[in-house]
């Protein structure tokens, strides 16, 4: 199969499309013919040598496609089904990918949109679980207009929570459409939030990593009421919990989001698509930060 890979660290130019052996699904896994694969910031961080140090490395943790092989102990899905999900092997940006958890692609979603969901939905659901967001909660989501942020807004609204979301003024209509009360980020954000909720919020989630953790701690009444998925150093400095999947993942989120999308209650933004062969250009666009919404690779 063809797959995206790099054999040395560096800029987008180190990426190449290579031939690799076809993967085989293990127990409780399935394999798909990939039609679309999501791109995340972690992809270019890995390529730059800022994360895993082994070489060579493949890329991609989320994909959508057509089931073409089942591992043992897999039920409720058949060869030929359309599914989206995640792989633990970091090799979804390829013609074939093995998924360890998945859900059926709901009718309203195309492959590109489905591939934009898994990582964001799992991260958002896990963080909301760890915060303890319920129908009685008022939660502030910092960076609410990005992929993880919009997923967190919609999942928190689904729980019945009151959601306040920070974003640029250009994103406020989007946030309102998702059920959040928008607030502009930047200087004066704390005062703008208190203009809506004078007593502050119950909980806060940082998905932007923009250095706002001290403000979120103050608004939520302590670091124990705040979680970040984007600011590791800030979490250490403020005592805020940094959420990661090491202690368990919210794998149920895919099926939940599929049901919500089928009912018209969940939307994902695809900012731009690229053919698999243009993965280097996708990285350049992603690092430039000029496109709102998820970047997705399409596989013929």
Query: If 0-12 CB within 10 Å is exposed, 13-18 middle and 19+ buried, where does residue 290 land?
Result: exposed
Contact predicate 20/14, CB 8 Å:
no
Using one digit for the tens of pLDDT, what is the confidence trace for 273-285?
Answer: 999 999 999 999 9
Here the tokens at position 241 are 């919990």
Give DSSP secondary structure letters for 117-167: SHHHHHHHHHHHHHHT--TT-EEEEETTTSHHHHHHHHHHHHTT-EEEEEE
Q: What is the structure's pLDDT at 209?
A: 87
pLDDT greater than 80 at residue 246: no
Interior angle at CA 177, CA 173 and CA 178, nearest 5 = 120
Q: In the predicted model, what is the mean pLDDT of residues 51-72?
A: 95
Q: Are residues 106 and 130 in the same domain?
A: no
Q: What is the structure's pLDDT at 175?
A: 96
Q: Where residue 50 falls among pLDDT bands split at 50, 70, 90?
A: confident
Q: Are residues 7 and 110 in the same domain?
A: yes
Q: What is the structure's pLDDT at 132?
A: 97
pLDDT greater than 80 at residue 247: no
Q: Are residues 41 and 100 in the same domain?
A: yes
Q: Are residues 156 and 90 in the same domain?
A: no
Q: What is the structure's pLDDT at 165?
A: 98
For residue 183, being part of any structural domain is answered with yes
Q: Are residues 109 and 127 in the same domain?
A: no
For residue 259, being part of any structural domain is answered with no
Q: Are residues 124 and 243 in the same domain?
A: yes
pLDDT greater than 90 at residue 41: no
CATH code of 175's domain? 3.90.180.10
Here the tokens at position 77 are 């899905």
Contact predicate 244/4, CB 8 Å:
no
Q: Are residues 126 and 242 in the same domain?
A: yes
Q: Are residues 205 and 284 in the same domain?
A: no
Q: What is the structure's pLDDT at 292?
A: 84
Using one digit for the tens of pLDDT, what is the confidence trace for 101-132?
Answer: 999 999 889 999 999 999 999 999 999 999 99
Structural domain range at position 34: 2-117+268-298
Report the alpha-carbon distance of residue 80 to residue 65 in Å, rounded: 9
Q: Are residues 99 and 137 in the same domain?
A: no
Contact predicate 99/62, CB 8 Å:
no
For residue 256, being part of any structural domain is answered with no
Contacts of 100-106 with CB under 8 Å at 24 or more apart are 100/28, 100/29, 101/249, 101/251, 101/254, 102/30, 102/77, 102/254, 103/254, 103/255, 103/257, 103/258, 104/77, 104/258, 105/64, 105/258, 106/258, 106/259, 106/261, 106/262
The model's pTM: 0.92
Q: What is the structure's pLDDT at 94?
A: 98
Q: In the predicted model, what is the mean pLDDT of residues 18-32?
A: 98
Using one digit for the tens of pLDDT, what is the confidence trace for 129-176?
Answer: 999 999 999 999 999 998 999 999 999 999 999 999 999 999 999 999
For residue 261, being part of any structural domain is answered with no
Q: What is the structure's pLDDT at 52?
A: 84
Q: What is the structure's pLDDT at 266?
A: 95
Percent of the chain topping pLDDT 90: 90
Q: What is the structure's pLDDT at 289?
A: 84
For residue 260, being part of any structural domain is answered with no
Domains in the chain: how many in total?
2
């Amino acid at each position: 199969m063809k797959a995206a890979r790099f054999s040395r660290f560096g800029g987008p130019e180190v990426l190449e499309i290579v031939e690799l052996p076809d993967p085989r699904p293990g127990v409780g896994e399935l394999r798909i013919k990939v039609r679309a694969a999501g791109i995340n910031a972690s992809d270019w961080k890995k390529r730059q040598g800022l994360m895993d140090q082994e070489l060579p490395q493949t890329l991609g943790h989320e994909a959508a496609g057509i089931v073409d092989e089942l591992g043992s102990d897999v039920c409720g899905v058949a060869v030929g089904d359309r599914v989206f999900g995640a792989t633990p092997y970091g090799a979804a940006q390829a013609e074939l990918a093995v998924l360890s958890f998945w859900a059926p692609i709901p009718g309203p979603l195309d492959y590109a949109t489905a591939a934009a969901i898994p990582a964001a939905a799992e991260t958002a659901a896990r963080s909301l679980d760890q915060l303890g967001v319920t129908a009685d909660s008022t939660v502030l989501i910092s960076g609410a207009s990005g992929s993880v942020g919009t997923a967190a807004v919609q999942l928190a609204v689904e729980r019945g929570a009151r959601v306040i979301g920070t974003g640029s003024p250009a994103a406020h209509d989007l946030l309102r459409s998702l059920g959040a009360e928008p607030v502009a980020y930047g200087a004066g954000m704390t005062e703008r939030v208190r203009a809506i909720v004078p007593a502050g919020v119950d909980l806060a989630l940082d998905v932007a990593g923009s250095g706002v953790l001290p403000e979120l701690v103050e608004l939520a009444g302590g670091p124990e009421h705040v979680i970040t998925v984007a600011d590791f150093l800030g979490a250490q400095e403020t005592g805020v919990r940094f959420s990661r999947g090491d202690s368990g993942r919210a794998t149920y989120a895919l099926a939940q989001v599929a049901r919500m999308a089928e009912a018209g209650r969940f939307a994902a933004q695809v900012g731009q698509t690229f053919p698999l062969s243009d993965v280097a250009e996708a990285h350049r666009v992603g690092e430039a930060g000029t496109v709102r919404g998820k970047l997705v690779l399409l596989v013929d």
